[in-house]
Each structure stands twice: as structure tokens, then as C-alpha cells.
Amino acid sequence: MSSADGGRVRPGFRHGGGTVKGFVHKDQFPRPNLNDSLEGEIQAFLTDEDQLHTYDDLTKVNPVTPTTVLKCLQARYNARVFYTHAGCTLVALNPFQPIPDLYSVDVMKEYHCAPQPQELKPHIFIVAEEAYRNVQGQLEPVNQSLVVSGESGAGKTWTSRCLMKYYATVAASSSVVKSQDIVGRIERRVLDSNPIMEAFGNACTLRNNNSSRFGKYIQLQLDRSQLLVGASVQTYLLEKTRVACQPANERNFHIYYQMIKGATDEQRKDWKMPCGQHFVWLPNAEKTVEEDCFHETVEAMVHLGINAERQREIFRILAGILQLGNVNFSPSTDESQPYFLQRAAELFSIPTEELQLALRVRTLKAGKQSVLKPCSQTECSMRRDCLAKVIYAQLFEWLVAFINNSICADKSMWCNFIGILDVYGFECFQLNNLEQLCINYANEKLQQHFVAHYLRAQQEEYVSEGLQWSFVKYQDNQSCLDLIEGSTVSVFSLLNEESRLNRASDCKMFRVRLEKELCDNVNISWDKFSKVPHFTVAHYAGKVNYQIQGMVEKNKDPVPPELNSLLQKSDNSLLHQIFTDKETDNMTSKGLSKVTVVSKFKNSLESLMKILHTTTPHYTRCIKPNHDCKPLTFKKEEVIMQLEACGIVETIHISAAGFPIRIPFTSFLQRYGLIAKYSNFQSESDCASKYTLSLCPFMDKFVLTLLAFVSQLDLLEDQRNKILSQCAFVIQCCWLRYQRRRRQARRKSATLIQAAVRSWLVRKQVQRWNRAATVIQDTWRKWKALLKSLAEAELDDAKDLEEENVPELNPVIRERGSVQLSTLQEPVTVRGWPMGLALASAPSITVSLTATGFQKMMSVMASLNLPSRRGEYKVEPNQYTQGLASIRAQPKGSVKLHYQRSPLLYADRQPDLKSEVTGFNEILLEKTL
């Protein structure tokens, strides 16, 4: 089936489906008296009142009547259950007191992680999660809108705040490490935009302590991973008249009371606001509300990037507006008059004389000449109020633009959005003017969107598809919209014509014209006996009387050019900037028709409705249990009026009798075709024509099988999730196998590289060792050769031996290797050494030494200590006591040494420096063998 909602998944599923016959239309039962006894089915249903609070979905109520719906809501409210499903709509009752742990982070995670959030208790987080999953599931249209509606004080602002906190929590990037420097995170900046806009745009009224005096549509921008990357804010019709005119028992905007109660002494001195000073434009300053938190507003400004100097300029402008409100105009001289005017001029950083002149004198242009005309007391007050309103309105627009620049992401970074609409609720006061007319017109547009999107579109779809359906009547507010904004003749068109006339407005003449042009419309009426000109409009939520006095002037919204020129000369850089930019905008639109307040508001509201029509809407109806804002107080008369006004009963009728699941055929095939293995579509345009014939037998059998189950969509989603899980498992296996193979290849490559590097290092080390060994060997050989040369140089030459007349040795002595000594005059000690011979203290001695068997003989002699034959000489080994003397040294006496083989070749002992040998040059010989 095709559908206007593009396949939206409904939050509350009921048992069964198909059509329900014989239910009662709205026009067939009058509104019952709540005090009368209940009869028939109603009485049977309400018999067990203890179980009424268990109906978490009002489509389960049988029969569906205003009384049964009201009783169920009252029972749930008394049980402190404040959310209830009503088909496609969530009904939220305002408890008017904080409820612990109802909106905590743990509760957010519980609804976000639940496989089927609809199975949990009704909550605003179910609506938020449904929209978020629609974006994840790419259900057409992908973009979502959360429409929060209700009258003033029903809890719309609080609900919108909870929705933003939810998305800032669940749509935040889990990969981002939460550090102390959290200022730059987009989630924090998006949440910080709320305190600033509420401080500058909300006020305490008779019906609500935190009433939004402007409308806003916040687009939460999501990337392809459904992560929050930015946001943008669009505002509608700020009630700037509240700056200079506050209704009885109401307050000005929150920011002024925050400044009075939270400023330091230094700030008060800078703002010229001493303690105890009374301000005309700050009524009910003694009343304290929860929103009077100056520190929170300043902290939000810091997080959004508004530095201290810019904050000082903002607060000085606000203080100047308050001082301007104390300025009175009278013919007599007032000493306090220049005092407040001077303070205002100083805070605005403009000359006092020029400010006074701009307020008191009007410049008229007659051709090329300018004429100065003094203003009356009333005109001066109007110019003062106009100055205050235009400054505050421009400052508010600058704040919104600054917030958007701070939190808005580039178009390339996001692809989808979830919009949260929070507009002023339906208002009806004793005195209603242009502001209330625009506010109620906006609520009419939202109600019409709900009617066209759900109440009308669903039933027309059932009829067009040939389903058996009994049409449910509902209250259509299209005639009221035609009265207000009609293209031919309407209240807005007549008001714009009156505003564009270059003349003073006459409220009585305007009333006469309204009666003449709009007398055929049943939604407008007049009290002919009333002395105050007014007209009454029958809105969907009730009748409202609008005062005509001052409506035309407010629609013109004139700003004297003298005031604009004066503010452009301000030394306050912010004030100079915003009014210079405004003058630039006026220059670009020069030559166009003058834009009135209602024209501008109508155009902006129409652009909003175009956005809503391209998104999947989710409705939340906020109900105000009592008009006194008392905690846990439920007044049936007031609640039943709201239920009937917003069409809750009709919504329940259609949801209970209709089909809760409606998905276009092409979208159904694209989403669930993979179950039957027919998901490979070439394109969405030709999928129906290509596969309709082949799938018809399967789809008929499949649909008939599914009708036997309670929740068809749950079965489809579960089966689809199983198939997707299997596909994801296969992909994971392939990916893990690929990664494992890749790791093994890398490990093998790393092993080869490591082995090659190690072998190269070993080769280099061995080469270094070989070069070092070669150097050591060469050095050692050179050293050996040097020692050898030194030893050879110490030996006697053969020529010296030939010159000496040495007697021949006895053969026996030669053979035995003995020593033959000549006769000495005195006893001489002869010491033998295996490697050499030392003689000391000998006068003229001749020693003959044979080399035959020298080594053997010297070894024997080294081990003996023999006396001489005659007892005059002895032979002792001298390895450890004596050294070896040079044979070329000249002793005191004449010594001759003859040998056949040099003993120095076998020397391996260091000569003793303490030797008794004197007169010889001692040398050190190292081992040469």
C-alpha cells in the first residue's frame, strides 16, 4: 500500500488489524456530563478502576469515548505515570514537579539499547528512539521531525529539552575520549544553545513560568554513521513587545531578572544598576523561578565562544534598555529625566543630546527638504518603546546567528537531520492582540498538518485502495485557516492593506471592513454591543477575542530612521555591527513592497511547513492537567477540552480501526525483499515492474501467513535482522581470514628481513674481526722481528772471536760441556744459567764454553750448586737471583766469553735489577721460541 507517511513505523502496536465496523462517530455522541452515571459498555469498562492505569496504549480502550480516555489518563496520572500511547501520538501529562530518575542517562541507554523499545513503558524516549532508528534504517523519507504541541504551560519546552539531551547522549561519537577540554564537543555546544535562547526568549506568564515567547525549529545534523555533527536553529516571531510592555502579573524576559539577581558588585557598577534601583520594565522582580540562573547563562556563552568583552557589550545593551524604560516624557521639567536618559546613552555609547533629540523630534521629508517636527508626549513614548524593541530584537537575532555559526556543520559533513519543533502553545488571555493572533495561527497550521497527514490522509488512502472502511469524522480546521490566511480575502490580507495605507489607522473603520468582507465565514463573529472594537475567531482549541486597538501599528512595526542612524554611530562595537548589517539588508531590499509582521511570519511558517511535509513526523501532545500549574493536580474539565481540541479521540479511533503498519510496495520490496532472496534491484523505479509478477504468488502466500501472527512488522524485522546478521557474520569471517592471512604474510616477510639483517650484521662483525686479527698479527710479526734484530745486535760478531787467541778445549771437556777456568789469584764465583752465563768481579779471566750438548748440560748445571775442585770456586744456578749481562760491556777487569752457540736465543727471564753483577749493561730479553 502506498502511504503519505512514507512507511513510518508506529510506536504502539495493537492486537489484530483490519477494519472495525460499527464504532460511534464523534457527531453521534454528545459530550457526556462527567458527573452522570455511566451506562452500558462504558460502565462495564470503568467497573474495575484499579486496572485503568495499566492501559499504556489508548487504542486498547473499549469503547473509545472521551470519558473512557479521560478516565484512563486520570488513573495513570494519579499513579504517577505521565506518558501514554494514543495510536500514532504520544500523550504527555505535565506533573509540574521534578520526577527523579525519569530522564537520567541510564534511562536513555535503556531505551536506546532495547531491541523493541515499544515493549517498554511509554516515554518520550520511545518517540526519540523511533525517529533515530528510522534514520539508521533509511526509511523513506529519511529525515525526521518531532512535533511537540500543546497549549502554553503543557510542557513543550521541557519535552524539547529532553529530546535534545537524548540525542546528544545516544548520537555522540563513542570514539571521542571525554577529556577535560570538552568545550569543543558539538554535543555540549548544542545543549548550551538552550539556556541562552531560553534566557533571551522565554518569560514567566500567568499560565507558565517558562513560556516560550518565540518559536524554534532545531535541526540536529547527523552524518552517515548517524552521529551528531552539528545543528541549526530557526526562530519565528519573537514577542519583542514584552520588552516595553508586560501584561499584568507577568514578567519580562528571564535574562533581565538573571542580571538583577546574579550580577556581582563590579558588574552592577559597570552596568550602572545599583542595588535597590527600581525599573519600570521589570515587574514582579521579587518572584523567583527555576530559570533565574545567571551563572548558567554566562557559562553557556563561554562554551559557545562568546568572550568576556562581547558579553560585557551584550549586558551593557540590556542594561541600557532598562534605563530607557525609566525615561518619562512630560511637558514639565523633571530632574530625573536627564539622569536616566544619560545613563541609557552611556550604556549605548551614543551622545546623550543626540538620543534626546531623536526621541523628541521627528524628521519629515518634503521633497528634497527635511523638516523637524516636535513629537507629542505619546509619540515620544512610542519612539522610546520602539527603540527598546528594535534593539532587543536585533540583539536576539544576532545571538541566534552566532549560535548557528558555532554549532552548524558544513553541508558536506552531514546527510540527514532530526528536527525538533517547539513553538508557543495556544493562548487565550483577557486582552489578545496581534501576538496572540500569530501564535494561535501557528498552532492552527500545526493542527492542520496533523489532520492532513494522519486523520485525513490515512482514511483517504484506505478508501482509494478499496478497503472496507467506515469514515471517521473529525474536526477540520481548514475553514479557520482560510479565515486567517486566505489568498483572496482574509484577516491577514485586510490587515496588510490597512498597514500599507499612508494614514493613521482607525480601529472602528477596520472593524467595519472586517465585518463587510468576512461576514460569510462562520469562524469569525463580533459582539455588536461591545464598546471596544474586536473580533472573535473560533479556533480548533476554542474561541478567542482579539482587540483591534494597536493591531495595525504593530503590524507596521515602524522604526524611525533617526534611531537607526543614531545606533549606527554607537561606539559599542556590537550595537554598531548589528545595525550596520540591518541597514545593508534594507539597502538590498530597497524598492520592494514593505514587509509587514504578519507577512514575514506567514512566509517563515510556510517554509517550516514545507520542511515538515518532506520529513516523517512524530507527534507528541502535551496536556496541561490544570491551569494553576499545581503539582499532581488533575482537573477533568480542562483536560477533556484539550483532548477534544487536538483530536486525540479521533486519532485513537483511526489507529484502533485502521492499519498500524503502512509501507509503500516498493519500499517493502526494497527493505524486506532479501528475505525471499529478491533484494538485488537495479533501481527503485523499475523494481516494481520487474518483480511484481514474479513476487505476486510469493507475496500473497507470505502476507496470508503473516496475518496469523500478532505483529507482522516484528516478524519481518526479526527475520530481516537475522539475515543481515548472517551476512554480517560471513563478512566478518572473510574479513578476519583476510586479516589473518595478511598478518601471516607480514610475519613471514618480517622474519626474512630479520634473518637477512642478522646475517649481514654477523658478516660485518666477522669481517671486522678478521681485519683486527690481521692488524694484530702484522703488528706482532713486526714486534718479533724488531726484538730479534735487537737480540742479534747484542751478540758478538764472529770477527771478534777470531781475533782472540783462545786455547783449544780439552776434548773431554768439550764433550762433557764442562767449564775450564784458568788459575785465578783470588776465588771467583761462577754462576751458571741454562740460558746464559754471568761473570762478576773477575780481573782477567778466560772462559771457554762448548756448545756440544749445551742445552742438556746447562739444564743439569742449573739444578746443581757445585763447589770448585779446589774448594775455591762454586757453580750456582741463577734463574731467580741474578740477571744476564751484556757480553759486550766492559767490566772492571778483562772478561772474554767464547761459545759456539749463543745462549741468548733461549733467554726467557727478565734480568734482576738487584743483581750483584756490576759494571755490565743489563738488558731485557723476551722469549723468542
623 three-class SS:
strand
Residue 531 assigned ligand-binding role: no
> pLDDT tens for residues 86-122?
988 999 999 999 888 899 999 999 999 998 888 899 9
Q: Which amino acid is at 120?
A: L
Question: Higher confidence at residue 348 or residue 18?
Answer: 348
Mean pLDDT of 870-899: 43
Residue 817 assigned ligand-binding role: no
**pLDDT of residue 655 exceeding 90:** no
Q: pLDDT averaged over the chain?
A: 78
In order, the DSSP letters of 390-405 are HHHHHHHHHHHHHHHH
Residue 155 assigned ligand-binding role: yes
Mean pLDDT of 815-819: 49
Cell numbers 533484494 correspond to what residue?
679
Distance CA 20, CA 87 (A): 15
Mean pLDDT of 413-420: 94
Least confident of 190-194, 230-234, 550-554, 644-648: 644-648
**pLDDT of residue 786 exceeding 70:** yes
Distance CA 701, CA 715 (A): 15
Distance CA 839, CA 279 (A): 133
**pLDDT of residue 563 exceeding 80:** yes
- Written out in words, the top-level CATH class of the domain with range 439-557 is mainly alpha
Cell numbers 469524522 correspond to what residue?
473
Residue 259's pLDDT band, with cuts at 50, 70 and 90, is very high
Mean pLDDT of 483-511: 87
- At 583 the pLDDT is 63
In the chain, domain spans: 439-557, 663-744
Q: In this structure, what DSSP letter does residue 275 have?
A: T
Residue 761's pLDDT band, with cuts at 50, 70 and 90, is very high
Residue 405's pLDDT band, with cuts at 50, 70 and 90, is very high
**pLDDT of residue 861 exceeding 60:** no
Least confident of 3-12, 96-105, 798-807: 3-12
> pLDDT tens for residues 287-316?
889 889 999 999 999 999 999 999 999 999
- At 39 the pLDDT is 58
909 three-class SS:
coil
Most confident of 28-42, 100-114, 498-512, 635-649: 100-114
- At 156 the pLDDT is 92
- At 470 the pLDDT is 77
The pTM of the whole model exceeds 0.85: no
In order, the DSSP letters of 316-366 are HHHHHHHHHHT----SS--THHHHHHHHHHHHHTS-HHHHHHHHHEEEEEE
Q: Are strands 228-236 and 144-149 parallel, antiparallel or unpaired?
A: unpaired
Cell numbers given for 567? 545606533
Alpha-carbon dihedral sign for residues 773, 778, 782, 784 = positive
| 147 φ, ψ (degrees, to nearest 5) | -95, 115
- At 163 the pLDDT is 95
Residue 151 assigned ligand-binding role: yes
Q: Which residues are catalytic?
A: 152-153, 157, 208, 211-212, 425, 427
- The answer to whether residues 545 and 432 touch, using CB atoms and an 8 Å cutoff, is yes
Question: Higher confidence at residue 63 or residue 294?
Answer: 294
Mean pLDDT of 544-550: 92
- At 829 the pLDDT is 44
- The answer to whether residues 306 and 402 touch, using CB atoms and an 8 Å cutoff, is yes
Question: Higher confidence at residue 468 or residue 700?
Answer: 468
